[in-house]
Amino acid sequence: MKVGDLIKKPPVVVGLDATVEDVAVQMVENNVGSVVVVDSERRPVAIVTERDVVRTIARRTPPTAKAAEVGTARDLLTAKPDDDLYQVLDAMRKRRVRHLIVVDEGGRLVGVLSIRDFTEDWALKELSGKVWWPKPEE
């Protein structure tokens, strides 16, 4: 099973100027736990998660702060649609992230997978089958 098979809907994105509040509104309206900040070429610049929004509150940062500055902007974990599910889940666990940015060959955003997408029954079955096998080469 490939990463691309789990992508169900278009990713929720905001532009470089978006604020934390804009991101919160997008999360609620689209019922998602992360929003990707993209540049004009639709390349991911940052990912902002619910946890980032909560941390913003805890740090007393105003909700008018730029979203890209409160999210993860460096060293983003990305995958290609053809990547293997087990390997990307392994990478997500190692990085302790719940969201995976999926990009095409040109680095443009294709979708976002959340850890929840792996709890769908068939995904669990697929993965529990895989853990029997030797660990894929890194």
What letter would DSSP give residue 6?
A: H
Amino acid at 17: D
8 Å CB contact between 85 and 6? yes
Q: Is residue 64 at the binding interface for other proteins, with CB under 8 A as the rule? A: no
DSSP-derived 3-state class of residue 91: helix
With residue 38 as reference, give the H or E element that holds it: strand 34-38
Chain mean position to CA 8: 13
Residues 6+ apart with CB under 8 A from 119: none
Select from 42, 61, 63, 69 the one that contacts other proteins (CB under 8 A).
Answer: 63
The window from 9-17, 21-29, 66-74, 103-111 that contacts other proteins (CB under 8 A) reads 21-29
Assess 72 for contact with other proteins (CB under 8 A): no
CB of 44 or CB of 49, closer to other proteins: 49
- C-beta closer to other proteins: residue 96 or 106: 96
88-107 footprint of other proteins as x/- string (CB under 8 A): -xx--x----x---------
Residues in contact with other proteins, total (CB under 8 A)?
A: 32
CB of 40 to other proteins, least distance (A): 25
Q: Is the CB of residue 36 less than 8 Å from the CB of residue 44?
A: yes
Segment contacting other proteins by CB under 8 A, of 3-11, 75-83, 104-112, 115-123: 115-123
